Amino acid sequence: MKKSILVAASLLLTSSVAFAADFKQADNQWFKDAQASIKARMAVQPITNKAKNIILLIADGNGVGSNYATRLYAGQQAGKLGSEHVLPQDALPHVALVKTYNTNAQTPDSAGTGTAFHTGVKTKAGVLGVDETLARGDCSAVEGATVTNAVETFSAMGKQIGVISTARLTHATPASAYAHSADRNFEADSYLPEGCGQKDIAVQLIDVMKSGAVDIAMGGGRRNFITKETKGDEGKSGKRTDGKNLIEEAKAAGIQYIWDDKTFASADWSKPVLGLFESSHMKYEADRTGEPSLAEMTEASIKALGGSENGYFLTIEAGRVDHANHAGNAARTVTDGVAFAEAIAKAVEMTDPQETLIVVTADHEHAIAFNGYCGRGSDVLGLCYDIDPAGTKHSDKPLMGKDGKPYTVVGFLNGPGSILGEDGSGSRPEVTQEQATDIDYVQQSLIPLSSESHSGEDVAVYGRGPWSHLFDSTIEQNEIFHVMLQAATAE
Q: Which residues are annotated as a binding site for Zn(2+)?
A: 60, 322, 326, 363-364, 454
Residues with Cβ within 8 Å of 165's Cβ and at least 6 positions away in sequence, in order, are 171, 173, 174, 218, 219, 220, 282, 316, 317, 319
Distance CA 438, CA 436 (A): 6
301 catalytic per annotation: no
Collapsing DSSP states into helix, strand and coil, what is residue 206?
A: helix
- The greatest distance separating any two alpha carbons of the chain, rounded to the nearest whole angstrom, comes to 78
Annotated binding site: 60, 171, 173, 317, 322, 326, 363-364, 454
Among residues 4, 16, 37, 110, the one annotated as catalytic is 110
Is residue 149 a contact partner of residue 187, using CB atoms and an 8 Å limit?
no
Q: Binding site for Mg(2+), residues?
A: 60, 171, 173, 317
- The number of C-alpha atoms within 13 Å of 197 and in the hemisphere containing its C-beta is 6
**CA 464, CA 469: separation in Å to the nearest integer?**
8
Cβ-contact 111, 176 below 8 angstroms: yes
- Dist CA 348 CA 403 (whole Å): 48
Strands 368-370 and 410-415: antiparallel
Cβ count near 298 (within 10 Å):
26
Return left, alpha or beta for 418; rule: phi > 0 is left, psi -120 to 50 is alpha, else beta: beta
With contact defined as beta carbons under 8 Å apart, do 299 and 241 qualify? Answer: no
User: Which residues are known catalytic residues?
Assistant: 110
